[in-house]
Amino acid sequence: MSDALLVIDPQNDFCEGGRLAVAGGAGIMPLINRLSARFDRVIVTQDWHTPDQISFASNHPGAAPFTEIEVAYGRQMLWPDHCLQGTPGADFHPDAAPTVEKAMAVIRKGYNPAVDSYSGFFENDHRTPTGLGGLLRELGVKRVFLCGLAFDYCVRFTAEDAIREGFEAVVITDASRAIAPQTEAAAQDSFRALGVAEIAAASLLS
């Protein structure tokens, strides 16, 4: 009863055919559904951007996606426009429907145009909370398991913030997918340094 499953951004734009597709993104949805069936407490996060989001390369003339700029809160990666509020790209992938239907809460993030948000706990200024931490504490959760998209960004930063907020954090590696090998390796290095555990889904499903 002190565990929760955090399913990170299982959205159309992060799956094949989406604006910021992660290779193999759609393929993990059936496994995520099997995992969510094993948890009493399931919470889903959802990117929920406005067209003027600061992290969109289209809002910075001459800037290209996947380059970085300096903003008020530090370095910010620029992305293709994605997960725009009310668009099909922001919708949850249909194959994740059983998990979304079971979820007790959906935490929307990245809706402030002046600040991007990777973590399910805080916006990228590392100060503005989403409310997830308070919800988990009210529920008596002490350990969170994480899966979803993408391993090297939103899963990573949510897991790191979970540790900083006093929770145990366990990332289910085969129920997540990364954008790039280099940032995937950086996430794994960070997990080892902070004490984030990595496991395979089979250890929870057997």
Catalytically active residues, by annotation: 9, 109, 154
Token code pair at residue 5: 């499953």
Q: What are the two backbone dihedrals, phi and then psi, of residue 69, each rounded to the nearest 5 degrees?
A: -130, 165
- Residue 147 in contact with residue 196, Cβ under 8 Å? no
